[in-house]
Amino acid sequence: IISAPRHGSIIYHPSLLPRHRGASAINWTLIHGDKKGGFSIFWADDGLDTGDLLLQKECEVLPDDTVSTLYNRFLFPEGIKGMAVRLIAEGKAPRLPQPEEGATYEGIQKKETAKINWDQPAEAIHNWIRGNDKVPGAWTEACEQKLTFFNSTLNTSGLVPEGDALPIPGAHRPGVVTKAGLILFGNDDKMVRARLWVTCLLKATHAPVLGLRPHRKTLGSSGENGKNQTQEGTLTLICP
């Protein structure tokens, strides 16, 4: 099939090959904290993202980029410009073998593989959240609920904001619920701020943190016939 077209077959891949071969290349670019990203257009062969390179374009990866922002800012608008097609039409398209040095392959990211490992530095947690934002969604379990995190950013101020404690199993220390989002901690005690998708009706009381008084809040709403609905919130669930 790949050799049937008169000029051969080409493939678009959203990474700088040979790095991040595989179906979730944008996710892994962010998860690994790469400072540079981009896309490759290569000639199809019988391998997995191993064909000769036709062209590559590189871009800077911003500290808070997500899969969506990186794709919409650069990978999509630059990738559809048709440069490769013009080169082929003009008989100028190169075939550059991919180097083996620096080659990596990562599997497809799915919901079941996107659970957060809390025993790592805050920057790694931040990269994991943004690398799964919003699909498939980095998640954890707390208070018998599944929480999905997005809109992550590193908190570099060093100051723990006021809020209420949210115990998270496996975390180095409890999260802190604030008006700006949920503060999470890595095993280096540095902070990440994130927002949540929460499914179900959540209501109870937090334990106080940093000497603050506990308070009551409800996040979520009941739909018709009392069925719970998925809610997006900057404040998170309140544990019983």
Average pLDDT over residues 198-215: 37
CB 203 within 8 A of CB 218: yes
Instruction: Please tell me the pTM assigned to this model.
Output: 0.82
Domain boundaries, the chain: 10-90, 122-199
pLDDT-above-70 percentage for the chain: 82
Q: Does domain 10-90 have CATH number 3.30.70.3450?
A: no
**Is residue 224 predicted with pLDDT exceeding 80?**
no
What is the DSSP secondary-structure string of 92-152?
Answer: ----BPPPSTT--B-PPP-GGG-B---SS-HHHHHHHHHHTTTTT-EEEEETTEEEEEEEE
Per CATH, 10-90 and 122-199 having the same topology is answered: no
* φ, ψ for residue 118, nearest 5 deg: -80, -10
Q: Residue 217: pLDDT band by 50, 70, 90 thresholds?
A: very low
What pLDDT score does 198 carry?
60
Tell me how far apart the alpha carbons of residues 240 and 227 are, in angstroms, rounded to a whole number. 20
